[in-house]
A and B are shown apart, each in its own frame.
Chain A
């Protein structure tokens, strides 16, 4: 089973700053199979990025994804007030079919 480790656990930043979130896999993951979500308190997750770097429909271009192999990154170029949330990476595997990282909370400094 591939384990996804997200770091840092919490990122304290101010609006306008750049956020860099890491997702490291215990084994190599196909870039096609790496996904990112955003979740705000009391809400369902929202799809941000699929295929490691493709933005989902309606996602602003301040969100970008990159990486390959075992290291993937979600970057938010300039944080807006609505971007403070928890972010999860997810990968597709054989068993289990989907696994999620533990999440990174982006909080207001």
Chain B
């Protein structure tokens, strides 16, 4: 069974940092591109970042570029999102999501990890 489990969310002050993790199981992690997508409370979905299978292609939304860093460890079947210089508007549930083939949609999602940026 495919599983994606996020962790690392919590309450952080503006300007602070947080690192999200996504543990993958039930599939060959190294053969899939991965994404982070977030959803502010009561709002729609916003794509955050993408990393290719071998990490040779990394892309960010303009809203997080220069502040967030996506990475993966295929040996540990894990995806990460390092979030620095956090702002109030970064408050959201963060989902990791698998992308089986480029531009084919995100076929499996984690349950999400809530990040709250507040003083």
Contact = CB atoms under 8 A, between A and B. Distances in A.
Nearest to A49: B105
A100 B45 contact: yes
Interface string A64-88: 0000000000000000000000001
A39 B95 CA distance: 13
Contacts of B61: 96-97
9 contacts: A35-B106, A44-B111, A45-B106, A57-B107, A95-B62, A96-B61, A98-B47, A100-B46, A100-B47
A44 B110 contact: yes
| Interface size range of chain A in the complex | 20 to 34
B107 to A, nearest CB: 5
B106 A47 contact: yes
Contacts of A56: 105, 107
A53 interface: no
A51 B104 contact: yes
Interface of A: 32-33, 35, 37, 39, 43-47, 49-51, 56-57, 88, 90, 92, 95-103
A102 B47 contact: no
Interface centre among A50, A95, A96 (most CB of B within 10 A): A96
B45 to A, nearest CB: 4
Contacts of A45: 37, 45, 95, 106, 109
